[in-house]
Every structure is written in C-alpha cells, then in structure tokens.
Amino acid sequence: MILVFGGTTEGRVAAKVLDESGASYWYSTRGDLQDIQLAHGHHITGAMQVPEMVTFCHEHDIRLIVDAAHPFAVNLHNNVVDLAGQIGVPVIRYDRIYPPHDEDIVWCQNYDDAIGQLKAHGVHRLLALTGVNTIAKLRDYWNNNECWFRILNREESLAGAQKAGFPTGHLVYYEKDDTASLIEQLQPQAMITKESGTSGGFDEKVLAARQAGIQVFVVERPDYPTADGVTVQHVNGPHGLRRMVEKLLPEFYPLHSGLTTGTCATAASIAATIRMKTGETPARVPVTLPNGETIDVDVTYGDGFAAVFKEAGDDPDVTNGLEIRAQVETCDQFEILGGEGVGRFTVPGFDFPPGEPAINKAPRQMMRDNIHENVRITISVPQGAEIARRTFNPRLGIEGGISIIGVSGIVKPFSEEAFVASIRKCMQVAKASGSDRVVINSGGKSERFVKAQYPDLPQQAFVEYGNYIGETLAIANELNIPNVTMGVMLGKAVKLAAGNLDTHSRHTTMDKDFVSTMLHEAGIDIDISDLTLARELWDRIPQEKLQDFATAVINHCTHYCAPLLPKGMLTILLIDDNGKIYHS
C-alpha cells in the first residue's frame, strides 16, 4: 500500500498516476478544502504527528510514501523522513519544476534574509505574495514599511492575518491571474514571492513584475531533509513518479512503463555530447521530457558512440531491447541525421518531407531542448532495418529502418482489462459529480479542445477512453448517463467510421478505400492513393468542403456508436489538429 501526502497540484497529479494502476492507496491532506476525486484511493484528512503516522502505516501495511506536499511545508517534510526511518520504507519526493535562478531577481535564503535585502534595496512599498503563514515572519518589515499581503479569501486565512496583527486594510484577496492588476492598483516598489515552481505560478508572477518594472525578491525553497538509512528518490513529474513507483514497489502496477525511441535517442545524444566535451562517461543521464519534467536514463558507450537499449516495459513493442546509438561531433549549427537502421520518409504527409530521416518532430525537439550546443547528431539502430519489416513502416511509406518517435517520451502500457476497469471507475465518479453530461475523449489534447465547449462542467465529467470507445459507451449506458459527448480526432474517427470500436493501431489501420467512400459521399473528388496519415485530409480537402466531409465522418461514427447508448443522447465532435470542432 502507498501513502500520499498531498493537498497540492502535485498531489492531484500523483493521485491520477496511482489511479492508473487500479490498486488502492491512501491520500492524506491536512484539511478537507481540497476537492479531489479519487478513482481507487482513500482520502483521509487531519494533520498527523509522527507517532500517529507510524501507527497508521503499520495498520495499513504502508510500504511506500509519496511526499507531494508544498515545497515550503518544512515540518511535514521532516516528519515524513522521520516516519520513513522509523518504519523502514522509501520515500518518493514529488517536487515541482523550478525555473533557473535569473540574475535580475534578488534571491533570499530565508525570511530574515529577505527583510535585510528589502531594507538594503530601500524598498518601502511592497506587495507580498508569500502567503498568510509568512505574515509573522515578515513582521519586522511591515511594522515599519507599507506592505500589502495577498491571501486566500477564506475565514481561516483572514483569522491568521488578524492573529499576526496585520492591518486588515492592507489585505488583498487572491483571484486567478491577478498579479498584474494588483501591481497596477497598489503601485508597489517591489514584489516578494516564494520559489514556488512552475505549478505555483512563479513564472507568471515574475513576468507581471518585470512588465511593471518593479524589483522581484524571492525566498528560496528549503532543501529537502535527509537522514541516515532513509531512501529518498526525487521526481518532478508524472512519468518519473510512475517509473519510480514501478521500481520501488513493482507489484503496484500490473504492467510497467517504458521509454519511447525518441527518449532513448535523446539520452544517447546527451551522453555522447558529455563524453565529447568532458571525456566523462556517466552511467545515467538526465533527460528533460516534453512536459518539462526530468527523468534519468541508463546509457552505455562504444567506440565513438553512446547508446541506450530500448526499454518498452510491458508494452508489446517489437523495438524492445534494440540498441539506439548516437554519434556526436562539433558543427557550425545544430543538426540531426539518420544513420544505419533509421528509416526515411518516402511520401509526403509526415512531419518532414520525403528523403528526411524518420525522426519525428517531438524527438528532434527533445534533442534540441536537452543539448545546448552546436553539434551534429547521427542516430543509428544496428538492427533497425530488420525490425522495421515487422512494423507498419513499409505500409506507411517509411523505408530502410525504424522510426524514432514518441510524443510524451514515455510508453504507458495498459492491459485491456485494467484500462476498461479504470474507465468504469472514472465514469462512476463522473456520474457521482452530479453532472448530467459526461464528455469522453481519446486523451489530453482532445480533452483540452472540447473543454472550451463545456466550461461549466466539473473536471470529473471529462473521461479518457483511450482506444476503447465501444466499452466506454457501453459503460455509460449501464450507468444510465443521459448525455454523452465524444470528442474524437480524425485519425481515430476514420477507423471508428469504418466500424472499429477499438481504434488501437495494433488492431486496425486506416482503410483508404472507406475514406474514399466518405469523400465521395461528401461530394469531394481528390486522389488519396498516396495518403499516409488521416490528418493530411485537413489540408487536402478544399476549405469549403471540410464541413461536408466532417458530417459524413460523424454520421458513420454515429451509426456504430449510437446503438451502444440506447438510453442516452450521444453527441460526436470531430476535432482538427488546430482544435477546430466540427458538429454533424
């Protein structure tokens, strides 16, 4: 069993990551103000001291702790490490992503240092965004200077400010994205905030101050505690969290995640660059993923190259175990080349034109974001040409080897049974939210677009179906959900329109003959014999005929989907790559 200390954005994400397993866990918050829906977790509230924590962990067989609390929750962090030492379990510290320390910011080691820095810089009018619990810590400043504190509009926050003796007239209440307007209204000389990380709105606060031309003071986050005999592993994102849970408590997830070929190629490139520059050969290198988090990847070395062996986890992937190499040399500009075993695009419609190596846009961007040097990188896969024959690459127009792909950088496998069970639980939570409509989407991208259509729905009303459209609609019918909206992008939609209720690429590919039939129904006469990806249709179809085509696709999807929801009303929204939504 796992115990999570949450109450933060990271805590919410941690719960979502753990819910993917289908296993039970405990989620602890100090108070009950955080509205969180847990698919498989049990929410407990109330601040526990170490003896109570120890008793709880023994009673519930806790074998792993996830500390996702606020970076400035020093007492809790100390208690967690103390607890881990007493019961002999490891800790995963789920921290935030922190921007680098810019030189134009005044960095303060603590609040006493901040008071000294403010006085040294002659600041007499200050906007403080450090929170109600820091009012007493800055008393020596605001007793002698004009200061406004922004606090949450809660009774307990107001009571805390009054207890500290802070003048009520200089309190301002938090509203989303209000930093710029507060600066304009109050005209402070400077702003002080905490090093709260990306999820704490740090970048937005600093940007607002810079645009107003005022000085920024930042109280640095405290170091995380350590103790002899206590294992603390640090992660700063959902992928790293899952992979660390898989490592420390392997049985929690029935299937384990892996790395995309893009992440492997990036890690090999980083290692090869390090060796070229310094001669060092680290066994692991940090890789920043597209979502901004960092994970460590194991690397090896050979004659003139660094390499990563592809780790697919439990995803059935023919590339599992492949050696992906990177050779790096200095260059006047940043270049990425494809060597032995890396396929080449032979038809249009991909991220890059025919003749280019089959290294997709996301992996190329990962390499650029991780390697800040002008180098020429050559990616090669010694067994790539042989393995590629067992993939869809030849049919798609990629010849000579495998593709270097991956959008998130991580492969998350799901057994059908476990994934459908997770969908069912999420649908139950959606119904329990009181919403009379559930919006189902294939993933985060489509959900983001469709949310704009339903801004008043609670977060719990949005459910991901992955590829299991048929199962999701059947569950909605079982639960008597009256209204279901399905957001679908064209790649899945053309498969669904042909009657494939499971749209995973392992089970079905685009049927160009059926796509031609739908184009004909829409009165569109274009040649798609060289069509590689369904999304190319958005550019090939004349603008004035796009709605006609969308209607044809949606009608075919409805033909197969509506019978699965006989007791409810189904709305299907077709989404293009830019987020434009088509109705039937």
Note the pLDDT of residue 397: 75
The span from the CA of 559 to the CA of 563, in Å, is 7
Note the pLDDT of residue 512: 86
The mean pLDDT of the chain is: 90
The sign of the torsion formed by the CA atoms of 243, 244, 245, 246 equals: positive
**What is the pLDDT confidence band of residue 391, given thresholds at 50, 70 and 90?**
confident
Pairing mode, if any, of strands 232-235 and 398-399? unpaired
Note the pLDDT of residue 413: 73
The span from the CA of 236 to the CA of 579, in Å, is 29
Residue-wise pLDDT for 200-234, tens only, equals: 889 999 999 999 999 999 999 999 999 999 999 99
Contact 381, 398 (CB under 8 A): no
The span from the CA of 233 to the CA of 247, in Å, is 11
Residue-wise pLDDT for 54-103, tens only, equals: 999 999 999 999 999 999 999 999 999 999 999 999 999 999 999 999 99
Contact 327, 272 (CB under 8 A): yes
The span from the CA of 19 to the CA of 348, in Å, is 40
Output 235 or 532, whichever has higher pLDDT.
235
Note the pLDDT of residue 416: 63
Amino acid at 171: L
Residue-wise pLDDT for 332-356, tens only, equals: 999 999 999 999 988 776 778 889 9
Q: Is pLDDT of 195 > 90?
A: yes
Note the pLDDT of residue 33: 60
Contact 371, 269 (CB under 8 A): yes
DSSP labels, 87-148:
HT--EEEE--------TTSEEESSHHHHHHHHHHTT--EEEE-S-GGGTGGGHHHHTTSEEE
Note the pLDDT of residue 75: 95
Tell me the two tokens of residue 141: 């400043």
Contact 388, 237 (CB under 8 A): no
Q: Is pLDDT of 186 > 60?
A: yes
Distance of CA 196 to the CA centre of its chain: 18
Distance of CA 363 to the CA centre of its chain: 16
Q: Which residues pair with 5 in a beta bridge?
A: 28, 67
The span from the CA of 193 to the CA of 177, in Å, is 14
Q: Which of 5-9, 32-36, 311-315, 458-462 has the lowest mean pLDDT?
A: 32-36
Q: Which of 17-31, 70-84, 404-418 has the lowest mean pLDDT?
A: 404-418
**Burial of 404 by CB count in 10 Å (0-12 exposed, 13-18 middle, 19+ buried)?**
buried
Residue-wise pLDDT for 395-406, tens only, equals: 667 889 998 988
| Arithmetic mean of pLDDT, 15-20 | 90
Q: Which of 363-367, 377-381, 573-577 has the lowest mean pLDDT?
A: 573-577
**Which residue segments constitute the domains of the chain, with CATH numbers given?**
2-97+231-252 (3.40.50.720), 106-219 (3.40.50.620), 258-411 (3.30.2110.10), 416-582 (no CATH)
**What is the pLDDT confidence band of residue 505, given thresholds at 50, 70 and 90?**
very low
Sheet holding 25-29, edge to edge: 41-45, 25-29, 2-5, 64-67, 91-94, 232-235
Q: Which residues pair with 301 in a beta bridge?
A: 306
**What is the pLDDT confidence band of residue 424, given thresholds at 50, 70 and 90?**
confident
